[in-house]
Chains A and B, each alone.
Chain A
Amino acid sequence: MIARLSGPFLIVASSLGGTALAQCNLGAEGPCDEPHASPGCAVTECCDEVCTADPICCELDWDQVCIDIQEEACAGLACPGAQPCDSASDVTGCADQVCCRTMCDHDWYCCYIEWDQYCVDFAARICGQVACELVIPDVAVPESEPCDERLNDGCNMLEPTFSEIVCGQLVSGETTTSSPRDTDWYQFTTTQPTLLTFTLESEFPAQAVLFGGPCSGPFEVLLLFDSTLCAPAVQQSIEVGPGTWSMVIGAGREEISLRRGLQCPLVKLDEGEDPQPIYFGARYLLGLDCDPEPCTQDSDLNGDGLVNGADLTILLAGWGKGGGPEDIDCSGSVDGADLTRLLADWAG
């Protein structure tokens, strides 16, 4: 369901709120913090800022006036930097302008202080992703939350509210990084031991988290996985017993939560307001399939043809579990009734 776009999908709106000045985009050279005879300087963002303040810096030369301006105006504007994005360095920014800006919007340290190993590792995960756009099938059920609302943020809300997902359903949703970052919580219930299979594909680095338990606690992360951009849906399965579960879709990866760059598709700007940067699309597809585990009601848990101490050991090891082969009477929990059943079948 992923379609590759013919052109670049990643759109980086300059933090300055405008497009780069011509001179700054024409291969301007020379360090921004040293005078030089040519107009402009190598760091496009900084060059833009300085030349907006004093166009002469991009028309004649980069003199001391330009240096003074950049000292005031260029903190955190370090893209593109000098070194490759996959190399740690004690200077700011990296050579790929888009990657550099993406990273710095999520972790300002990479543009203010240095491009350290953390920047390198994070960049490896989110930079260079091929642009793509999800094709939403007709059968997909739209998320009940409008893009710019926070109606199904589950346990993150003072009064927890969830969307529903049912077995066999495919849900299409959107999540954004505008404050507070959107998390979509889908709640569902199983009444017997069930093999759950989730599928997730997305236009942004998405993370899926399966929770068990009430919001007040204890709640437990049972499953955590990421989608792979512009690749077929990631599929993950887990066995659960009877209970109520929450599947949470949010923006980010194991490294860190995304902090900028996911916007609702149509953002109305106030007059004079600069657009926020957009790095990824905001849509995802979440699927849930449920396969009730066949309950064999077989006390021969190790399949050796005998019901004996070895089976008892297996049952005791699974004591208290919510289902599974040790749940001999298919009650949804491994308990005394299963022990009774096993002892009744004893044929050691």
Chain B
Amino acid sequence: MGSVPREISLMSIGNPLSTCLLSCAPILACEVSLTHAQLTDFDFTEETIQLPEGFSPVCFDLTDLDLDGDLDAVVCGRNVDELAMILEGGPGGSLTPTDELVVPDQMDWAEFGDFNEDGNVDIVLGTRSWAGLVVIFEGLQGGGFTEQPRTLRHCREIRATRVGDLDRDSHLDLVVIGHSSEEILTLVGDGTGSFTPGIRLRSSPWRNGYPFPQSAELIDLDSDGFLDIAAIGLGSRTIDFSFNDGLGGFPQTRSWTVPVLEDGTRPGCSYGEWADFDGDGRRDCLLSLTGFGPQRFAIARLEQSGDISETTLHPGSSSGLSWIPSSGDFDGDGDTDVVIGHALPGTIAFFENVTQPGGELEFLLPQLFVGAQFIRYLRAVDLDHDGDTDLVAADFTSDRLVILRNNLIGGLPREAGRNRTSHPSSVNPVHAIPFSGEGERDGASLAKWLSDLSASEVRDLCTSSSGEPADRTKPGGG
């Protein structure tokens, strides 16, 4: 399999396409110029799962709730109706909204886990509002949930929670990301569904702005058998590794700064995706970098010791602002491809991995799918059990989940499924993107701005010519 030299890729998506940026509409001309030389045409059938109007999905999780062999889903959103949705999986990987969960506030994160160890999967949700609430719905036999959730009051503006057994006592614990309270908190589970506060990790205390931790992954970074915390600081532009001492404590934290771009600007970063991109058997961290001008993504390679040995920059899409990364072997060639969800417009860009064994990481130019305004969340999964990797995306402003069902191995014939670049939009370009001023175009400010937007604000941006950002002094009120 050949490859496109990185230099050529950079030139290809440089200045000639810079005018494609900051538009709510997918830029079809740009896509054509970027994608004609691909080795593999990724091939998906797009399906839509409509959610209630105004639901504004932000995050979801997938698991087999009712043990029927099909993946079910929970979806949460930033909606004034304060609802989360349960979607029942069916044969062939369908997802059908079946139940509503009434939640105490807008929710930014949803995840499954059996916290009370009764054999039924529970749901944990994190509130976006300033009064941080961890909300837990206990699972019932057959896949249902209790109507009244249990709530735990912690942090300010929870942007994510993560589930894992931190202290290896066989009980699931929680890690809570307090975006505005600048903290990462562990909640120690006892196997009954109860949690007690564990360790509070101050996020980037040296930061002279605000660190705004946004997301985290639980992963054994240093190969000692214990789950460590790899958090992303949106404001600090850092990946912060907190190493587990084996007892649920995290006495050691090491941080890396997101790389400066070729033009000297600093991009923002909100999420990381952990997968083995270079085929060395160790997981690397894919970072979607949000910046002005052509987007980039970075891959940080992890050493056995838990240190990042090298971070490489790669050209991203010129259509939209990079937001959420995911990965999977979408072309079935045995390596891990990159996919990034964007905002303004909300395209989904696939990057084919053409890294040679032992060679430098290399990815081909992006192939773009889906016409949306803001893809808030992505998950690569074999939804229909046909042996290939599908993609599920949360379309923030259109109140829907989008399934890109992979046609490469199973599924529909390629002709029926081909839908790339088929979603022109009539919405107007966005002209105003805020930045911190003072001579520096600050990707972290841009990422922070994106992270705070409500769905209605995104829609307003795409239908007004001014594009002025709304007042977001009240995180819970967007």
Within 8 A of B (CB), among A111-130: 112-114, 116-118
Residue from A113, A155, A250, A256 within 8 A of B257 (CB atoms) = A155
Residue from B206, B210, B254 within 8 A of A218 (CB atoms) = B254
Within 8 A of B (CB), among A147-194: 150, 153-156, 158, 180-183
Answer whether A116 and B131 are a contact pair too, CB < 8 Å, given A158-B264, A218-B255: yes
What's the minimum C-beta distance from A152 to chain B, rounded to whole angstroms? 11
For A81-121 the 0/1 string (1 means CB < 8 A from B) is 00000000000000000000000000111001110111000
Which of A156, A224, A250 has the most C-beta atoms of chain B within 10 angstroms of its own C-beta? A156
Contact A219 B208 (CB under 8 A): no
For B181-197 the 0/1 string (1 means CB < 8 A from A) is 11000000000000000
What's the minimum C-beta distance from B475 to chain A, rounded to whole angstroms? 9
A-B contact count (CB 8 A): 84
- Asked if A254 lies at the interface with its beta carbon under 8 angstroms from chain B, I say yes
Residues of B within 8 A of A156 (CB): 206-209
Residues of A within 8 A of B200 (CB): 254
A: contact size bracket:
35 or more
- Asked if A278 lies at the interface with its beta carbon under 8 angstroms from chain B, I say no
Contact B206 A248 (CB under 8 A): yes
Residue from A112, A180, A183 within 8 A of B206 (CB atoms) = A183
Residues of B within 8 A of A252 (CB): 205
What's the minimum C-beta distance from A227 to chain B, rounded to whole angstroms? 14
Contact A217 B131 (CB under 8 A): no
Residues of A within 8 A of B207 (CB): 156, 183, 257
Residues of A within 8 A of B266 (CB): 158
- Asked if A264 lies at the interface with its beta carbon under 8 angstroms from chain B, I say no
Query: B154 — nearest CB in chain A belongs to which residue?
Result: A118
For B250-279 the 0/1 string (1 means CB < 8 A from A) is 001111110110001010000000000000
| Measured CA separation A102–B255 after assembly (Å) | 32
| Measured CA separation A232–B209 after assembly (Å) | 29
Contact A220 B254 (CB under 8 A): yes
- Asked if B449 lies at the interface with its beta carbon under 8 angstroms from chain A, I say no
Contact B253 A221 (CB under 8 A): yes
Query: A110 — nearest CB in chain B belongs to which residue?
Result: B130
Contact A117 B131 (CB under 8 A): no
For B95-114 the 0/1 string (1 means CB < 8 A from A) is 00000000000000000000
Contact B208 A220 (CB under 8 A): no
Residues of B within 8 A of A196 (CB): none
Contact A209 B257 (CB under 8 A): no
Contact A107 B205 (CB under 8 A): no
Contact A207 B209 (CB under 8 A): no
- Asked if A136 lies at the interface with its beta carbon under 8 angstroms from chain B, I say no
Residue from B130, B209, B210, B256 within 8 A of A109 (CB atoms) = B130
For A200-237 the 0/1 string (1 means CB < 8 A from B) is 00000001010101011111110010000000000000
Contact B210 A257 (CB under 8 A): yes
Within 8 A of A (CB), among B428-457: 440
| Measured CA separation A154–B253 after assembly (Å) | 19
Contact B153 A116 (CB under 8 A): yes
Residue from A216, A221, A250 within 8 A of B208 (CB atoms) = A250
Contact A117 B153 (CB under 8 A): yes
Contact A217 B254 (CB under 8 A): yes
What's the minimum C-beta distance from B280 to chain A, rounded to whole angstroms? 19
Contact B208 A153 (CB under 8 A): yes
Answer whether A216 and B257 are a contact pair too, CB < 8 Å, given A109-B156, A257-B210: yes
- Asked if B343 lies at the interface with its beta carbon under 8 angstroms from chain A, I say no
Contact A256 B181 (CB under 8 A): yes
Interface majority SS (helix, strand, loop, mixed), chain B? loop
Answer whether A158 and B260 are a contact pair too, CB < 8 Å, given A219-B255, A221-B253, A257-B210: yes
What's the minimum C-beta distance from A162 to chain B, rounded to whole angstroms? 12
- Asked if B135 lies at the interface with its beta carbon under 8 angstroms from chain A, I say no
Residue from A118, A180, A254 within 8 A of B156 (CB atoms) = A118
Query: A122 — nearest CB in chain B belongs to which residue?
Result: B181
| Measured CA separation A31–B256 after assembly (Å) | 52
- Asked if B134 lies at the interface with its beta carbon under 8 angstroms from chain A, I say no
- Asked if B382 lies at the interface with its beta carbon under 8 angstroms from chain A, I say no
| Measured CA separation A103–B439 after assembly (Å) | 32
Answer whether A224 and B205 are a contact pair too, CB < 8 Å, given A107-B156, A216-B256, A257-B182: yes
| Measured CA separation A64–B205 after assembly (Å) | 47
| Measured CA separation A156–B257 after assembly (Å) | 10
Contact A250 B153 (CB under 8 A): no
Residues of A within 8 A of B308 (CB): 217-218
Residue from B202, B206, B241, B259 within 8 A of A216 (CB atoms) = B259
Residues of B within 8 A of A209 (CB): 205-206
Which of B239, B257, B307, B473 has the most C-beta atoms of chain A within 10 angstroms of its own C-beta? B257
Query: A259 — nearest CB in chain B belongs to which residue?
Result: B210
| Measured CA separation A92–B226 after assembly (Å) | 42
Residues of A within 8 A of B205 (CB): 207, 209, 221, 224, 250, 252, 254, 257
What's the minimum C-beta distance from A173 to chain B, rounded to whole angstroms? 14
What's the minimum C-beta distance from B470 to chain A, rounded to whole angstroms? 17
Residues of A within 8 A of B239 (CB): 217
Query: B442 — nearest CB in chain A belongs to which residue?
Result: A158
| Measured CA separation A158–B209 after assembly (Å) | 13
Residues of A within 8 A of B181 (CB): 118, 256
Residues of B within 8 A of A217 (CB): 238-239, 254-257, 308
Residue from B130, B153, B257 within 8 A of A215 (CB atoms) = B257
Query: A112 — nearest CB in chain B belongs to which residue?
Result: B474
Which of A118, A182, A215 has the most C-beta atoms of chain B within 10 angstroms of its own C-beta? A118
List the 3 shortest-distance A-B pairs measured between CB atoms, nearest first. A217-B256, A183-B208, A218-B254
**19 A-B pairs whose Cβ atoms sit less than 8 Å apart in the complex:** A107-B156, A114-B131, A118-B181, A156-B208, A156-B209, A158-B260, A207-B205, A217-B239, A218-B241, A218-B256, A218-B308, A219-B255, A220-B252, A220-B255, A221-B253, A250-B208, A252-B205, A256-B182, A257-B182
Query: Interface on B for A, CB 8 Å cutoff?
Result: 130-131, 153, 156, 181-182, 200, 202, 205-210, 238-239, 241, 252-257, 259-260, 264, 266, 307-308, 440, 473-474
- Contacts A117-B153, A153-B208 supplied; 16 other A-B pairs, CB < 8 Å: A113-B130, A114-B131, A155-B257, A156-B209, A158-B260, A158-B264, A180-B208, A181-B209, A209-B205, A216-B259, A218-B255, A218-B256, A218-B307, A218-B308, A252-B205, A254-B205
